[in-house]
């Protein structure tokens, strides 16, 4: 027997003890003792859907084989086939093209909005659009069930996990596979992304699972802090981890999952909508493109402004790390950068998803520090100077403390300077958090941007 339910263990113990009654708490105490001595795998905790204390892994090598199924060719083939099937309607084009994926997203998004025109826009059921929205390795519960059903050693263990007359095989496999998923989530092999269903269909939340072990390394051309257009800028906020003892290995997958969940569950307003255009992830970074679509109040036309976001966790010796010249070997920097329209004090960047992503990352970092604060020292929130990013190499860009910027902003100081002397707008650096309580901002729909706006109908010589 490789995995056993508590009911099976109680039955076996009673058989050996001549039918004496055994309390469940006695079995739990014994399993916890054996688990502390690495004899079995048992956890006295529960999730929202499954209790990990209902089962015990009696053979650790068996569980390792179950987890290794994620690395099997069958699992990789499932991911590839599902990705290709999602793009089968556009098979004449290159399936790996980001442009193709953006076009497919737009097509499916329009189909969804047409069928739900009376409701605010909502990125619904990421499990349905998963392979279009994401290039990273991910599976859902059905994929894992199929993967484990194919393995004879898992089927045999499922048949022996319960007392013989209690449940049929389908019910046993459903319960044990749900337990295995929760156990893999507990060990960081699966990283869940739960997406709330829309209010109209009343369906239960759907869950996809990221597979960080299958993420590739970051390519050298994944991101650039420079911009070609004069009306665009690059903003970058970072969390600087001091005196790191153990590398935060599980931090980035949790950030990716939380950002995806918050973006997908975000409900836009009628005059300003967010659409996911592209998503890609690597072992220690992810890239996200969001479209901010605003309905102009004067013309009734829709304008689209794209915000590109890049988040990565690096050490000082990484060429991608911003402001690495001031870091030591024991430091890690988590940087979240956004590139977009500089107009209106950077509001299209902040309201185009940057504020949403930063709040998601901050929540994960705070939760991580509360659980693993002993593995590192303090965490310092910094803002990278956008002028330094534009004029110098990002490794030597200057930073300012976010708390100091907010304090000066509250004192009425709008312009501050970095250590290189660059003048900086505190409102643009801090976005929504940097606005004063007495500031009244017009909605974006009432503002006109030169990006994607109507060009003059006269020639230049006629205007002179």
pLDDT tens digits along 322-379: 999 989 988 999 999 999 988 778 888 998 999 999 999 999 999 988 887 777 778 9
| Residue 389: strand pairing partners | none
| pLDDT of amino acid 164 | 66
Range 156-174 average pLDDT: 79
CB atoms near residue 174 (< 10 Å): 14
In this model, does residue 89 exceed pLDDT 50? no
Whole-number Å distance between alpha carbons of 129 and 145:
20
Least confident of 16-30, 120-134, 219-233: 120-134
447 φ, ψ (degrees, to nearest 5): -100, 155
| pLDDT of amino acid 79 | 65
Least confident of 177-181, 202-206, 232-236, 286-290: 202-206
CB atoms near residue 405 (< 10 Å): 22
How much of the chain is in helix, strand and coil states, percent to nearest 5?
Answer: 45, 20, 35
CB atoms near residue 447 (< 10 Å): 17
DSSP-derived 3-state class of residue 186:
helix
Average pLDDT, the chain: 77
| 113-119 LR contacts (CB < 8 Å, sep 24+) | 116/198, 116/200, 119/198, 119/199, 119/200
DSSP-derived 3-state class of residue 52:
helix
Enumerate the H helices of 342-391 as residue ranges.
343-349, 355-372, 386-391
Between 195 and 123, the higher pLDDT residue:
195
Whole-number Å distance between alpha carbons of 453 and 231:
13
Nearest to 334 by CA among 298, 369, 293, 295: 369
Whole-number Å distance between alpha carbons of 195 and 207:
6
Count the residues in the chain.
Answer: 464
Looking up tokens 């990990």 gives 52
Q: What stretch of H or E contains 61?
A: helix 60-68
Whole-number Å distance between alpha carbons of 342 and 320:
23
Measured CA to CA in angstroms, residue 179 lies from 66, 327, 357 at distances of 12, 43, 31
| pLDDT of amino acid 277 | 83
CA torsion through residues 339, 341, 343, 348, sign: negative
| pLDDT of amino acid 377 | 78
Between 147 and 49, the higher pLDDT residue:
147
Range 11-38 average pLDDT: 78
177 φ, ψ (degrees, to nearest 5): -65, -35
Ranked by mean pLDDT, the top range of 16-25, 143-152, 393-402, 448-457 is 393-402
**Structural tokens at position 249:** 């290995």
Report the interhelical angle of 141-149 vs 169-186 (nearest 10°).
120
Whole-number Å distance between alpha carbons of 25 and 38:
20
Measured CA to CA in angstroms, residue 369 lies from 46, 113, 375 at distances of 22, 40, 9
DSSP-derived 3-state class of residue 179:
helix
Whole-number Å distance between alpha carbons of 30 and 37:
11
In this model, does residue 446 exceed pLDDT 60? no
Ranked by mean pLDDT, the top range of 79-88, 108-117, 444-453 is 79-88
334 φ, ψ (degrees, to nearest 5): -100, 110
DSSP-derived 3-state class of residue 309:
strand
Range 123-136 average pLDDT: 47
């Amino acid at each position: 027997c490789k995995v056993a339910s508590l009911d099976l263990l109680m039955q076996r113990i009673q058989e050996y003890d001549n039918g004496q009654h055994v309390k469940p708490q006695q079995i739990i105490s014994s399993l916890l003792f054996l688990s502390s001595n690495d004899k079995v795998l048992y956890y006295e905790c529960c999730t929202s859907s499954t209790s990990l204390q209902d089962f015990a892994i009696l053979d650790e090598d068996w569980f390792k084989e179950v987890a290794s199924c994620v690395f099997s060719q069958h699992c990789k083939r499932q991911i590839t086939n599902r990705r290709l099937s999602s793009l089968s309607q556009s098979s004449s084009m290159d399936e790996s093209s980001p442009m193709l994926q953006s076009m497919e997203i737009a097509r499916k998004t329009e189909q969804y909005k047409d069928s739900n025109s009376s409701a605010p826009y909502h990125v619904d059921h990421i499990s349905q659009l998963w392979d279009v929205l994401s290039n990273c390795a991910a599976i859902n519960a059905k994929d894992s069930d199929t993967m484990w059903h194919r393995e004879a050693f898992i089927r045999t263990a499922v048949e022996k996990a319960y007392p013989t007359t209690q449940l049929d095989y389908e019910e046993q496999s459903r319960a044990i596979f749900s337990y295995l998923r929760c156990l893999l989530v507990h060990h960081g092999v699966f990283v869940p992304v739960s997406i709330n269903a829309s209010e109209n269909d009343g369906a239960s939340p759907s869950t996809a699972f990221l597979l960080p072990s299958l993420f590739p390394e970051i390519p050298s051309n994944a991101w650039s802090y420079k911009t070609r257009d004069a009306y665009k800028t690059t903003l970058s906020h970072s969390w600087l981890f001091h005196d790191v003892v153990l590398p935060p290995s599980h931090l980035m997958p949790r950030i990716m999952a939380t950002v995806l969940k918050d973006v997908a569950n975000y409900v836009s307003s009628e005059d300003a909508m967010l659409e996911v255009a592209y998503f890609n992830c690597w072992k220690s970074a992810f890239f996200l493109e969001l479209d901010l679509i605003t309905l102009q109040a004067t013309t009734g036309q829709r304008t689209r402004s794209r915000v590109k976001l890049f988040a990565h966790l690096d050490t000082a010796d990484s060429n991608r790390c911003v402001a690495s010249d001031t870091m030591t070997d024991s430091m890690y920097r988590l940087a979240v950068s956004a590139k977009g329209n500089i107009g209106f004090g950077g509001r299209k960047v902040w309201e185009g998803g940057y504020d949403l992503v930063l709040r998601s990352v901050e929540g994960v970092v705070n939760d991580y520090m509360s659980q693993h604060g002993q593995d590192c020292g303090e965490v310092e929130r910094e803002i990278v100077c956008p002028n330094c990013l534009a004029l110098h190499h990002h490794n030597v860009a200057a930073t300012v403390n976010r708390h100091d910027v907010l304090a000066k902003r509250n004192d009425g100081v709008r312009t501050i300077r970095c250590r290189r002397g660059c003048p900086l707008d505190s409102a643009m650096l801090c976005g929504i958090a940097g606005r004063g309580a007495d500031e009244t901002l017009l909605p974006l729909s009432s503002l006109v941007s030169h990006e994607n706006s109507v060009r003059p109908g006269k020639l230049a010589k006629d205007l002179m």
